[in-house]
Structure 1
Amino acid sequence: MTITDPFVSAGSNIGLLRPVGYVRISLDREGAGLGVARQTADLNDVADRLGMPRPEVVTDNDVSAYSRKRRPGYEEVLSGIASGRWNVLLIWHVDRLTRNPKELEEIVDLANQTGLRIETVKGGRVDLSTGEGRLHARILGGLARYESEHRSDRIRRKMLQNAEAGLPHGGMRRPFGYEPDGMTVRPDEAEVIRWAMGGVIAGRTLRALVGELNDAQVATSTGVPWSVTVLRKVLIGGRIAGLRVHQGRVLGPAAWPAIVSMPRWELCRAVLTDPARRTASGNKPNRLVSGIALCGRCGKVMRAGGNRAGARMYRCASANHLRRRGDLVDDVVTRFVVGWLARDGVTFDVPDIAVPTHDLRARADEVRLRISQVEDALVGDPTDDLKDVSVDGLKRNLARLRGNLEDLERDEKLTALPSALHGVTAENFPGLPLDRRRSIVDYLCKVTVLPTSKGGHAGEESIDVIPHPERFPAAAAA
């Protein structure tokens, strides 16, 4: 009985061919892999024309061969060829395989080690076993790389030109709040931006805002759930304030309309970029003053933790010096805040909403830059004006600059953080979300849990709540 292999014809060795097709497109503008599909069809036609089996196809869709990003499909092809899984490589053109000279040499070495046969749709066979064939492949690869570099230069110049004119870059990703043209405001998303910005200004955390957006199934412009990083990027990005930003630098007004006013955007940005803002990862606080109240024995923070007789406790996070019932502490603090807000004639040292002026922020940025220059000079890389300054002089300058920066950052903070009080009343404070109440307490109060004598009663008198002495010195001293 004779068994006929459908891929083997009499007098041929076609049955020994194990082809793989590699297809790649660096920018899938249609978003459906159609460019890859076209290349696959062409590779199948080449296989049919050469009388060999149609190849297993490995794809890298929307991945550039010029960039340094990983190409999983390309790596799989090289691994399969090296292991003997495939011995014929079908590609659309040499530049679909690589535009990197180093990678091309690796392929040349691989072909010489394995006897790999390479066939292309545009150009026929690439014979890497001869010097002439290798030269031809290197020329094609070099031309492809030149084309990529030249195109990148053109794109960079065009992007800068668009930025200087206040125009959008274009591209595949639609900016949240705008239509795909980047110029027309999308009203429903604009309302989401204004809502989120209002939450930040009111003292809410990005994590809490993201949770509400995702619970309400409000998606990003790409259709995926929100993350803290994405929301923060939208809110501090100048686009929503009608600013044209290019490579992190504001070039001027944009051609598209703003979604929020400049003062409100400046305020939100000041809050989100405040160095004192808590951004550390970890468990979300679930008590009013966890991480805010201080231990009266050592001065370290108190945190929620542990139970006693069924009651949740605050405890000293440093050495467990003190413990106090959580409901007692929260109740005392809440009554203090409500009482303060309810008093007639209560005023604060700064307005409810204020924005750091451009002059203040510019001076702080200048000091930060100068600090970095002095620090560089101290490690042997001075600017021209610091070359002749002694080490002691540099150290004195550094200490003075750091003191100036502390003053400027304190002024910046005092003009922005009172926004946490905006719209807060004695009536609505107890019902506000926990993250906002925490922000208000942290701004208004200094809370200290006092030690008691051995066997003494730990009642309300052991919870010391005063106006924050740095922000309200007159009230704290009264």
Structure 2
Amino acid sequence: MVAILNNPDRLSGGPRTGRTPQTLLSGIALCGVCGETVGGRSYRGTLVYGCKLTHTRTPRDVADKRAGNAVLARLVFPDFLPSVLASRQGLDDTDSAALHTEAQAIRERLDGLALAYAEGHISLSQMTAGTEALRAKLEAVEGELGKVTGLPPIDPVQGVAGLITGWSDTPLPVRRAWVDFTLTVTLNAANGRHARNMTTEDHLTVDWKHVLTSDTE
């Protein structure tokens, strides 16, 4: 019982690691009422997204699945892949590959910290401090990667196809970057309706970014 009550997962959905987002749409999706970005929380035992004024309580699983599917649909759209390839022309692939390698090494170190804590080799405070430092470094590396490619992180070998086939296993920061790059996600208020009576389209609206003019005509 003591171990359960002391488990940080019960308080925040995961070990506390500063302000690093732990959900797909926190800080990205917008409230359809006030226009502010939403955060993850729990409401009556259900994980939801909502703004600070709780205009929305959108089930997190519904929103995450819809946003993920929309990203994948955008990635396979006829006009998107050519624009991605065109934007990568003339880039320094050596720099890009080196940054990807460094980012992957940091993610492996993060996994190692979690394993060391689970096995009792380090304390929670040691894991938290180490995680915060590594996540800050990972964000810096991915920021540099974005500057090099002009795009969110993408594997230099597998490219967009690898992102599509491996979406569910893609690290959360990378999925968040692609959601933010490709979509505008707006969460809608229930307006008195019960969540079980709402469709996915009732819960949220998804609009693609970087759409060519011809696509909307």
Q: Normalised by the size of structure 1, how large is the TM-score?
A: 0.26
Secondary structure of 2:151's match? helix
The answer to whether the aligner puts 1:299 opposite 2:35 as a matched pair is yes
Secondary structure of 2:26's match? coil
| Other-structure match for 2:46 | 311
Aligned-residue CA RMSD (Å): 3.1
| Other-structure match for 2:182 | 444
Secondary structure of 1:447's match? strand
Partners of 2:176 and 2:214 lie apart in 1 by: 20
Q: Deviations over 1:315-358 (max 9, x none)?
A: 113x22111111110011111112222345643545352679xx
Q: Which amino acid counterpart does residue 199 of structure 2 have in structure 1?
A: G
TM-superposed deviation, 1:284: 1.6
- Cα 1:355–1:459 change in 2 (3 A) is farther
Q: Deviations over 1:337-394 (max 9, x none)?
A: 12222345643545352679xxxxxxxxxxxxxxxxxxxxxxxxxxxxxxxxxxxxxx
The answer to whether the aligner puts 1:417 opposite 2:150 as a matched pair is yes
Q: Within 5 A, what are the aligned runs for 1:331-342?
A: 331-342=65-76
Partners of 1:307 and 1:453 lie apart in 2 by: 16
Partners of 1:467 and 1:337 lie apart in 2 by: 8
| Other-structure match for 1:373 | none
Of residues 17, 37, 55, the one that matches 1:321 is 55
Partners of 2:40 and 2:48 lie apart in 1 by: 6
Q: Deviations over 1:380-415 (max 9, x none)?
A: xxxxxxxxxxxxxxxxxxxxxxxxxxxxxxxxx998
- Cα 1:419–1:355 change in 2 (3 A) is farther
- Cα 1:475–1:450 change in 2 (3 A) is farther
Q: Which amino acid counterpart does residue 150 of structure 2 have in structure 1?
A: L
Of residues 178, 195, 198, the one that matches 1:458 is 198
Secondary structure of 1:435's match? helix
| Other-structure match for 1:428 | 166
Q: Is the 8 A contact 2:75 2:81 kept in 1?
A: no
- Cα 1:344–1:316 change in 2 (3 A) is same
Partners of 1:348 and 1:453 lie apart in 2 by: 41
Greater Rg by CA: 1
Q: Normalised by the size of structure 2, how large is the TM-score?
A: 0.54
Secondary structure of 1:465's match? strand
TM-superposed deviation, 1:417: 2.9
| Other-structure match for 1:347 | 81
Q: Within 5 A, what are the aligned runs for 1:50-449?
A: 282-308=18-44, 310-317=45-52, 319-344=53-78, 346-347=80-81, 349=83, 351-353=86-88, 416-421=149-154, 423-425=159-161, 426-449=164-187
- Cα 1:416–1:475 change in 2 (3 A) is farther
Partners of 2:186 and 2:60 lie apart in 1 by: 13
| Other-structure match for 1:87 | none
Q: Which runs of 5+ in 2 are unaligned?
A: 1-16, 92-145
Q: Which amino acid counterpart does residue 463 of structure 1 have in structure 2?
A: L
| Other-structure match for 1:150 | none
Q: Is the 8 A contact 1:467 1:476 kept in 2?
A: no
Q: Which amino acid counterpart does residue 450 of structure 1 have in structure 2?
A: N
Partners of 2:32 and 2:24 lie apart in 1 by: 18
Partners of 1:313 and 1:444 lie apart in 2 by: 22
Q: Which amino acid counterpart does residue 353 of structure 1 have in structure 2?
A: R
| Other-structure match for 2:213 | 474
Runs of 4+ in 1 over 6 A off after TM superposition: none
| Other-structure match for 2:135 | none
TM-superposed deviation, 1:437: 0.6
Q: Deviations over 1:263-298 (max 9, x none)?
A: xxxxxxxxxxxxxxxxxx942211111110000011
Partners of 1:452 and 1:476 lie apart in 2 by: 31
Partners of 1:313 and 1:476 lie apart in 2 by: 33
- Cα 1:473–1:434 change in 2 (3 A) is same
Q: Which runs of 5+ in 1 are unaligned?
A: 1-280, 357-412
Q: What is the percent sequence identity of the aligned residues? A: 25
- Cα 1:420–1:428 change in 2 (3 A) is same
